[in-house]
Amino acid sequence: MTKADIVNEISKSTGIEKVTVQKTVETFMDTVKGSLVKGNNVYLRGFGSFIVKKRAKKTARNISKNTTIIIPEHFIPSFKPAKTFVVKVKGNVKKSK
C-alpha cells in the first residue's frame, strides 16, 4: 500500500477531500520525522512507537579491497509495533503462494 492508497482509503471512508487528507498525512509524517530528528520518540498507543536507536561504533571490512574501516556511532530511526498490533497481524495475514 502506498501513501496515495492510504489517502484514497481515508478519503473514501471519511468523505473528506483527497487534498485535505493528503496534506494531513504529509503533515503527520513531517511531524514524526521532525520529532525523531530532535531525538524525541513518538508513541501511538495501540499502533506502535517510532523510536531513535543508537548504533555503536564498529569495525567493518571491505572484502574486495581487503581494507578495514571504522563505522562511527550513529542513530537510526526505527518502528516498534504495539503488542496488540502484532497479535492482530499474526492472526490475519494471508500467506501468498
Q: What CATH number does residue 22 fall under? A: 4.10.520.10
Q: Residue 96: what pLDDT?
A: 59
Q: How many domains does the chain have?
A: 1
Give the domain extent around 10: 3-91
DSSP letter, residue 61: E
Does a structural domain hold residue 76? yes
**What pLDDT digit, counting tens, does each position of 23-64 carry?**
999 999 999 999 999 999 999 999 999 999 999 999 999 889
Q: Residue 94: what pLDDT?
A: 72
Residue among 61, 43, 60 at smallest CA distance from 52: 43
* Terminal Cα-to-Cα distance of the chain (whole angstroms): 19
Q: Residue 60: what pLDDT?
A: 92
Q: pTM for the full model?
A: 0.76
Q: Residue 11: what pLDDT?
A: 96
pLDDT at 91 over 90: no
Lowest mean per-residue pLDDT among 6-20, 32-46, 54-68, 83-97 = 83-97
For residue 69, count other CB atoms closer than 10 A to its CB: 10
